Amino acid sequence: MMKAGANRWVLWAVLLLAAGARAASLIPNGTFEKAKDGWPEGWPRHAQAAYLEEEGNHFLRQTAEPGKMVMLYQSLRLPAGAEAYKLSLRVRWEGVKVGKEKWFDARVILDFKDAAGQKLPGGPGHPSFKGSSKGWETRALGLVVPPGAATLEIMPTLFNAAAGTLDIDDVELVPIPLEEAGFVNFTLSERLPDTEGCRSAELVVKGNRLVEKATVKEVWLQGVAVPSLEWSAGGDNILKSVTNAVTEWNANVLRLALGSKFWFGVGPWQNDRGVKYRALVDEVVRQCERRGVWVVLDLHEYRAAEQRHADFWRDVATRYANHPGVLFGLLNEPHDVSWEVWRNGGWVTDKPKPKPGVAAENAEPVRKGVSVGLQRLVEVIRKTGARNIVSAGGLDWGYDLTGVLAGFALEDKTGNGVMYESHVYPWKREWQKMFLDVAAKHPILIGEVGCQPKPMPFEDPKAFERPETWAPDMLGCIQKYRLNWTAWCFHSSASPCLLSDWAYTPTPYWGEPAKAALKGQAFELKRMR
């Protein structure tokens, strides 16, 4: 039987053959060269639009009318089968002044709608323009088609702008493979060369343990989580922290938090398309491998796997494929989805139903959209040829792994295996059910673990447990079951903190016991939670 992935590629090949070597654009008269009665065929006419010509080339110009929407409207019926499109157009804008709201500017509005004409959530962003361009500019976007989409509306607009003009020309929409949608404006990475003097061994899953592939010697990963590259393109003392964690805290693994927007160079204050960010991660990998330790590249994002996460892993896996010191953390903290969606994907709502005992652990916006599922992320990684072990966090903000034993385990036929990841804090209960049952059959990474002397804002103060009773039992549990772990976190301000300052002084409530455990001190598990 042909697999689903193969079906997609066969369909794509058929589409190409049907359209010729170059896929035909779905947009009629996108060049505006065909005209009738002084207006381009297939395009609407309105009082604020003009059909103009420069040196034999025709285009449309729209002029702002303060406080009003000025729009060209094009609705395209989408043929069945295509999963993604490339939209390209030439634009030029002059004197665009923002109106009463910051989004009252020039933009190209893009909406996918279902057969009933209802707008589908999780659609593409709207390219926007302010001020004046230096001439014509070509813009291109990769558009992923959401399930159930029947039409795509393309609307070049002066959205209540106070003043200005927007010129548009050469609008083209062509089908592309889903895998290429995220790379319309980004060149896929090349593999990072092998680290000279690498001392890290390639790891594989064997039963519920990690072992060196060459020797089958068990490796017990014990270390710290290093944050800040998920919120900053430069991070906080990243390379200094790598050195200190390994040489002073005796860590043999680091969990490095990353953000996909910074990786692709579209985060705040980035103007180099992510070159420096990726180079910093490269250096972390090299330093870890030279020291003979491992790094888990943690995609520090939330809720459910999306296509943008698949794009991230396609690039990251290509870059670090089969580097022996690199493991891939698929998605930091899934939450508020079913196990079916967790694994296989599907629609997610912006109004998830509360579950008893499950607290929202941050204030991130909960959006509607489409999940591709964690299984798709594994497949995207393996398609690059990367064998690296992957780590998959459970539900309840990465804590709950019960679905792994209920038919939702991930499949990995060509790689070095899957390690499951749980995040354990004092407000979490039922250790045995939530992660220890799974630890009997699969390798586990306690990817985040920690405590602090004050309750978190979302905690029930009445149920709060102080670090002096919780930390020894948690570390005793980790040691008793030889669970891989990375303590949260190797930072002086992201709670719970291992560090009191950037002299790497351990906090007394969590840093001191965690550092002692990393240096070999034994802790006794006296009471399960």
End of a domain among 130, 149, 183? 183
Q: Tell me the pLDDT tens digit for each residue of 492-521.
A: 999 999 999 999 999 999 999 999 999 999
Residues in the chain, pLDDT under 50: 1-20
R_g of the chain computed on alpha carbons: 26
Q: Which residue has the tokens 């659609």?
A: 123
Is 415 found in the same domain as 365?
Answer: yes
Cβ atoms of residues 203 and 219 within 8 Å: yes
Cβ atoms of residues 420 and 392 within 8 Å: yes
End of a domain among 183, 216, 241? 183
Is 316 found in the same domain as 210?
Answer: yes
138 occurs within a structural domain: yes
196 occurs within a structural domain: no
Taking Cα atoms as reference points, which of 27, 22, 26, 125 lies closest to residue 81?
Answer: 26
Q: Which residue has the tokens 């922290």?
A: 241
Is 207 found in the same domain as 62?
Answer: no
CATH number for the domain spanning 441: value is: 3.20.20.80
Structural domain containing residue 53: 25-183
Is 471 found in the same domain as 322?
Answer: yes
Residue 248: count of CB within 10 angstroms of its CB: 13
pLDDT at 362: 83
- Residue 382 in tokens: 């393996």
106 occurs within a structural domain: yes
Helix/strand/coil percent split, the chain, to 5: 25, 30, 50
CATH number for the domain spanning 107: value is: 2.60.120.260
Is 226 found in the same domain as 168?
Answer: no
- Residue 290 in tokens: 């030279």
Taking Cα atoms as reference points, which of 53, 49, 23, 37 lies closest to residue 155?
Answer: 49
Q: Which residue has the tokens 């060049």?
A: 31
Cβ atoms of residues 342 and 380 within 8 Å: no
- 127 HSE (CA, 13 A, CB side): 20
190 occurs within a structural domain: no
Cβ atoms of residues 61 and 34 within 8 Å: no
pLDDT at 125: 83
Is 261 found in the same domain as 148?
Answer: no
Is 262 found in the same domain as 164?
Answer: no
Is 175 found in the same domain as 35?
Answer: yes
Buried b (16+ CB within 10 A) or exposed e, 71-109: bbebebebeeebbbbbbbbbbbbbebebbeeeebbbbbb
11 occurs within a structural domain: no
SS3 319: helix
How far apart CA 302 and CA 366 sit, in angstroms, is 9
How far apart CA 274 and CA 266 sit, in angstroms, is 7
How far apart CA 420 and CA 441 sit, in angstroms, is 10
Taking Cα atoms as reference points, which of 410, 412, 420, 421 lies closest to residue 382?
Answer: 412
Is 350 found in the same domain as 407?
Answer: yes
Cβ atoms of residues 131 and 171 within 8 Å: no
Q: DSSP letter string over 274-316?
A: THHHHHHHHHHHHHHHHHT-EEEEEE--EES--HHHHHHHHHH
159 occurs within a structural domain: yes
SS3 434: helix
Is 296 found in the same domain as 162?
Answer: no
- Residue 387 in tokens: 């064998």
How far apart CA 138 and CA 4 sit, in angstroms, is 35
- Residue 327 in tokens: 């493991």
DSSP state of 57: E
SS3 405: helix
Q: Tell me the pLDDT tens digit for each residue of 358-401.
A: 878 888 888 888 999 999 999 999 999 999 999 999 999 999 99
Is 233 found in the same domain as 128?
Answer: no
End of a domain among 183, 215, 245? 183
Is 143 found in the same domain as 90?
Answer: yes
How far apart CA 214 and CA 369 sit, in angstroms, is 43
pLDDT at 22: 58
How far apart CA 50 and CA 239 sit, in angstroms, is 56
How far apart CA 60 and CA 79 sit, in angstroms, is 27
Cβ atoms of residues 298 and 253 within 8 Å: no
pLDDT at 7: 45
223 occurs within a structural domain: yes
Strand partners, 299: 258
331 occurs within a structural domain: yes
Q: DSSP letter string over 418-447?
A: EEEEEEE-TT---HIIIIIHHHTTS-EEEE
Omega before 127 within 30 of 0, i.e. cis: no
Q: What's the structural domain count of the chain?
A: 2
SS3 43: coil
